[in-house]
Copies of this chain bind each other. A is one copy, B any other.
Amino acid sequence: MDFIKGNGVLPAIVQDYRSGRVLMVAYMNNDAWELTLQTGEAHYWSRSREEIWHKGTISGNIQIVKEIFADCDCDAILLKVEQVGGAACHLGYESCFHNKVDRNGDITIIGERIFDPERIYGK
């Protein structure tokens, strides 16, 4: 994988392996990439916390990797995963992409919350 173009990180697109729904996008550095390959569970690089992030450590909603794809330039990753708990988003939605944008740029929230983030994360 080519980690140079993105200053050490690559975007990883996460797709539900059954429904094909795009769940989220996160970033991997080389360590997160190796850990994901070795463990079969999605690991990312948190740009804000600047640390490796094993998705689901707090919520229990880990991502079991079913298939991995690299794009033509080897600078983006596609993970097809089994999303444990049914929700990838820290706000409790199945997908982080729950904001539908119309042609005017206005946003409508779609989808229902699967968990209450206050109960899981205590905020």
Quick one: copies of this chain in the complex?
2
CA distance A89 to B67 in the complex (A): 20
Closest CB in chain B relative to A1 CB, distance in Å: 8
Q: Given A11-B11, A11-B25, A22-B13 in contact, is the A98-B76 Cβ separation under 8 Å?
A: no
Q: Given A11-B11, A22-B15, A22-B78 in contact, is the A72-B101 Cβ separation under 8 Å?
A: no
A20 within 8 A of B: yes
Closest CB in chain B relative to A37 CB, distance in Å: 6
Determine whether the beta carbon of A96 is less than 8 Å from that of B68.
no
A53 within 8 A of B: no
- Report the count of interface residues on A (CB-CB < 8 A): 39
Determine whether the beta carbon of A101 is less than 8 Å from that of B69.
yes
Closest CB in chain B relative to A110 CB, distance in Å: 8
A91 within 8 A of B: yes
Closest CB in chain B relative to A23 CB, distance in Å: 10
Which residue of chain B has its CB nearest to the CB of A73? Answer: B96
**Residues in chain A within 8 A of chain B (CB atoms):** 5, 11, 13, 15, 19-22, 24-25, 37-38, 40, 47, 67-74, 76, 78, 89-91, 93, 96-105, 107
